[in-house]
Amino acid sequence: MKWLAIFTLLFFLLISAGITLLLPQMYDTTATLRVEVPDLGRGDPASQQKAGQDLARTYTELLKSPNLYRDTVDRQELSVGPAQLRAVTTVSNVDGTELIQIKVENPDPGQASSLANAVAQNIVDEYQNTDRERLVLADPAPVPLYPTGPSLRFNMILALLLGTVTSLVLVLLVDHFGSRRHTSLEKRAGATINGRVGVRDRAGRDRSPR
Residues of the chain with pLDDT under 70: 1, 20, 39-44, 129-131, 178-210
For the chain, state the CA radius of gyration. Answer: 33
Looking at the fold, whether 173 and 92 belong to one and the same domain comes out as no
Domain identity same for 91 and 113? yes
Domain that holds residue 165: 2-10+151-189
Start-to-end Cα distance in the chain: 27
Total structural domains in the chain?
2
Q: CA–CA separation, 62 vs 50, rounded Å?
A: 19
C-alpha to C-alpha distance for 171 and 165, rounded to whole angstroms:
10
CA dist 27 and 114 (Å) reads 12
Question: pLDDT at position 202, please?
Answer: 56
Q: Indicate if 130 and 182 belong to the same structural domain.
A: no
pLDDT at residue 82 in the model: 93
Q: What is the pLDDT of residue 103?
A: 96
Beta-ladder partners of 54: none
- Single out the residue of 121, 77, 84 nearest to residue 102, CA to CA: 121
Its pTM surpasses 0.85: no
Say what the pLDDT of residue 150 is: 75
Domain membership flag for residue 88 = yes
On whether residue 15 sits in a domain, the answer given is no
Q: Determine the pLDDT at residue 91.
A: 95
